[in-house]
Structure 1
């Protein structure tokens, strides 16, 4: 309803040129046709395949051609000829020009469109350009207006889901559909940012695939959504997430995230609360920062997008910042989602070695972080805290800074249990406490490598894995806490009193 009123305002205010950039061509054309009654003007439609036709009936509009002209549809479909016919027509009309953008760099086309617009008060014509990609020439800047086809909100998406469910039930009276309010709510959340037609297609796929709306369907919807809109490669969709059962320790971080889950995924009880912005995880390498990022997405049942600064940088001036804006727009469309920025210090370290590109990139990111209202939860990880600018760390940009330290003896036992169970190795005969005691100073990744190496050793000896194999690998390992003891000690001293301990 609001879209119809907004478009009518543009038409009634004598706006000669209107551009609509959308993939929903049919919806745009239908909206324009609904305006014809109110403005008392016929609506014509042009495309390269059919020429100028009546938008309602599809009948070729030969009557628009000059007296004595040949009624040749092939000639009429030519863009230049179509503009000549529009310019010569004395019947005030609305002309929808579909996929006209390839012709907008032609001097004749530009001049003809400009003259039609300048003579609007005489001819009463409106030119409406509809295309999925549309950049009007600067010549039209003072003569044109942009109109945006809004994407469906949660309420509209829920109606689409319920409508498709109703159709399924009519067609399958002898079957039972498996879904609940929570699964429908999550499906709706994952459809945010898609058009009506795209949403309907994904809803049907989810419903008819297995006669249910399940977690598997949600994952498929997330992947399909990314494939529809993530064509630029500035963000990567991480298909494999995790859950906190796969993460040892990090108790404080887990509790912090659990409290904010229902606020990030809107519920009736959470109304009025600010959406969580994100967290920064700093700490010792190999202690689970990246795994924690994956676990947030898995626990919250939202897509995980990874921002790699290497894909953003471009040798041409301004292109790097443009790529950052594309990445941000994609994250907003994919929301609710987790945006994982791994080793953020490598992409935005402030220095003069890159002609200021890093500073401009940082400014773009900081502005968005401060102003963003979409449910995009940032999980940024960093190993070198000295390279991070203070304006990134302050409250308001991110909610909290967590320090991921070397795991405690208790946590090391959990980590050994996780990795042994993951590889289907029985732990009843393995003393986890002894392994943990002998592994003090090890990171989570080093514990995993101990398990993997011990399995290789047992296989080579044609033996079942035993605690002796694990202890032998522990003795042969020099953990990072020894190799880089001074740097880790400085990092721990910096984090004390400045950050929240994740464990």
Structure 2
């Protein structure tokens, strides 16, 4: 609060007569203005659509004969004042389309008198018309620091304890640190609300609460649209193979969480054969690092109106930054950026917007992009500096195929002792992880139809009836593997 009051004081000292404060915390804004007004011995007034214009504290009384609930009358009253008072309008944004309101605001903003009043417009969102933008100053309240977020959690825990006969809230330091990280980007009151929701149900803050917290934060920030929140992030135990990629992530986890580092990890591109587990690996990054996972849908970005597609992308990226620290996943990125010359340059403009964000961002947003046809991607996207590394996810080796069979058989509660995993791995040469899973599914259906328990033979039959992609599209798959051999780091 002290920093907010100091910043507001500096703006007032510059004699700017029109100030815009965009914030969801109206009460906190009014508290800061009140503190500053008392400190400077200034009269201050507030206006809203219900109560009209009201004087707070000392100073000139209002003329009761005038209708101060009408915004035009209230603004005209302010225009005629010649005292350095502060006027705070909380509900003016619905009236910004009125030419008379805009003209009155402009006259107040251009008042050259030293004793002229200052008008502060407070709203959750308030875009100014072009004729007012250069006459106004914009300030925003500071977001809570990690120390303040931790203090808010402690306060809510103490309140829960007081209401529950002294029972203490159960948690651990690691979980608390993750909760604090995931609360970054919300206001003080939003952080208090989210912390209260974590505690109130069972008096505990555990690892199981983190996905719930991330989902609640995503909903609170109103991010629905081109961004979606992925509730279930895969555990890395559910990803067969990818040993080199897993080790790379583990080595960089601490650096990503260190807010003081200027060279934090930025992101990776996962290329590979379809069905090889790229999407599952992208989900697992968030699971391994304990971060929320946001998925950017390029198909939802595109709009028929010129400029809207790029605007949608900028808004989506800004939303992702509001959720930091987080993982941003762009699946099949080549489908949104491949320029075939038929979209009037939209793909190139989208690429430019994305590249600018990748180069200039300082936020803790780790980008994971997946691509089936990396050759379609522009070179400037995959160069070092914008992304940390290009990994190639190849068809799984025999040992990895055993792990994949073990994962999918266990997930369906099938007894592993009934299956010869080495024999299944040998029979599935050239199969991707997705194709192996579908063979297990087919075996379960086949056994159910025969009213039999699923055994090794059912899976072998399903494999023999399947032609994997590496056979159906052998030339294309071999060309992709040959391309990656010299240009990418093998994920396995």
TM superposition score normalised by structure 2:
0.96
Q: Is the CA contact (8 Å cut-off) linking 2:81 and 2:117 kept in structure 1?
A: no
The answer as to 2:428 corresponding to 1:439 is yes
Q: What aligned pairs does 1:479-494 form with structure 2 within 5 A after superposition?
A: 479-494=468-483
Deviations 1:389-419 (A, max 9, x none): 0111111011111100000011111100100
Q: Which residue of 2 aligns with 1:145?
A: 137
Shift of 1:355: 1.1
Q: Is the CA contact (8 Å cut-off) linking 1:403 and 1:501 kept in structure 2?
A: yes
Q: Which residue of 2 aligns with 1:10?
A: 11
RMSD: 1.7
Shift of 1:120: 4.7
Structure 1 residues 55 and 266, CA gap change in structure 2 (3 angstroms): farther
Unmatched runs of 5 consecutive residues or more in structure 2: none
Rounded to whole Å, the distance in 1 between the matches of 2:261 and 2:299 is: 38
Q: Is the CA contact (8 Å cut-off) linking 2:244 and 2:490 kept in structure 1?
A: yes
Shift of 1:38: 3.8
Deviations 1:12-32 (A, max 9, x none): 221100001111111111111
2:464 aligns with one of 475, 478, 492: 475
1:360 aligns with one of 339, 349, 353: 349
Shift of 1:56: 5.3
Rounded to whole Å, the distance in 1 between the matches of 2:286 and 2:32 is: 38
Size of the aligned set, in residue pairs, is: 491
SS of residue paired to 2:196: helix
Q: Is the CA contact (8 Å cut-off) linking 1:242 and 1:291 kept in structure 2?
A: yes
Rounded to whole Å, the distance in 1 between the matches of 2:100 and 2:340 is: 49
The answer as to 2:24 corresponding to 1:23 is yes
**Bigger shift: residues 162-171 or 180-189:** 162-171
Shift of 1:44: 0.4
The answer as to 2:221 corresponding to 1:229 is yes
Rounded to whole Å, the distance in 2 between the matches of 1:55 and 1:491 is: 71
Shift of 1:123: 4.7
Q: Which residue of 2 aligns with 1:255?
A: 247
Q: Is the CA contact (8 Å cut-off) linking 1:64 and 1:89 kept in structure 2?
A: no
Q: Which residue of 2 aligns with 1:101?
A: 93
SS of residue paired to 2:431: coil
SS of residue paired to 1:497: helix
Q: Is the CA contact (8 Å cut-off) linking 2:82 and 2:117 kept in structure 1?
A: no
Shift of 1:143: 2.0
Q: Is the CA contact (8 Å cut-off) linking 2:43 and 2:57 kept in structure 1?
A: no
Rounded to whole Å, the distance in 2 between the matches of 1:443 and 1:84 is: 72
Rounded to whole Å, the distance in 2 between the matches of 1:234 and 1:392 is: 21
Shift of 1:4: 1.3
Structure 1 residues 489 and 126, CA gap change in structure 2 (3 angstroms): same
2:365 aligns with one of 336, 360, 376: 376
TM superposition score normalised by structure 1:
0.94
The answer as to 2:45 corresponding to 1:44 is yes
Q: What aligned pairs does 1:339-354 form with structure 2 within 5 A after superposition?
A: 339-354=328-343
Q: Which residue of 2 aligns with 1:178?
A: 170
Q: What aligned pairs does 1:140-219 form with structure 2 within 5 A after superposition?
A: 140-219=132-211
Unmatched runs of 5 consecutive residues or more in structure 1: none
SS of residue paired to 2:416: coil
Structure 1 residues 42 and 131, CA gap change in structure 2 (3 angstroms): same
Structure 1 residues 112 and 277, CA gap change in structure 2 (3 angstroms): same
Rounded to whole Å, the distance in 2 between the matches of 1:347 and 1:70 is: 61
Shift of 1:473: 0.9
Shift of 1:91: 3.6
Q: Is the CA contact (8 Å cut-off) linking 1:343 and 1:383 kept in structure 2?
A: yes
Deviations 1:49-68 (A, max 9, x none): 001113459xxx99322xxx
**Bigger shift: residues 133-142 or 166-175:** 166-175
Runs of 4+ in 1 over 6 A off after TM superposition: none
SS of residue paired to 1:210: coil
Q: What aligned pairs does 1:381-400 form with structure 2 within 5 A after superposition?
A: 381-400=370-389
Shift of 1:372: 1.4
The answer as to 2:116 corresponding to 1:124 is yes
SS of residue paired to 1:127: strand
SS of residue paired to 1:302: coil
Q: Is the CA contact (8 Å cut-off) linking 1:263 and 1:273 kept in structure 2?
A: no
Deviations 1:354-382 (A, max 9, x none): 11111111111111111212111111000
Q: Which residue of 1 aligns with 2:486?
A: 497
Q: Is the CA contact (8 Å cut-off) linking 1:12 and 1:39 kept in structure 2?
A: no
Q: Is the CA contact (8 Å cut-off) linking 1:64 and 1:86 kept in structure 2?
A: no
Shift of 1:219: 1.4
Q: Which residue of 1 aligns with 2:448?
A: 459
Structure 1 residues 272 and 241, CA gap change in structure 2 (3 angstroms): closer
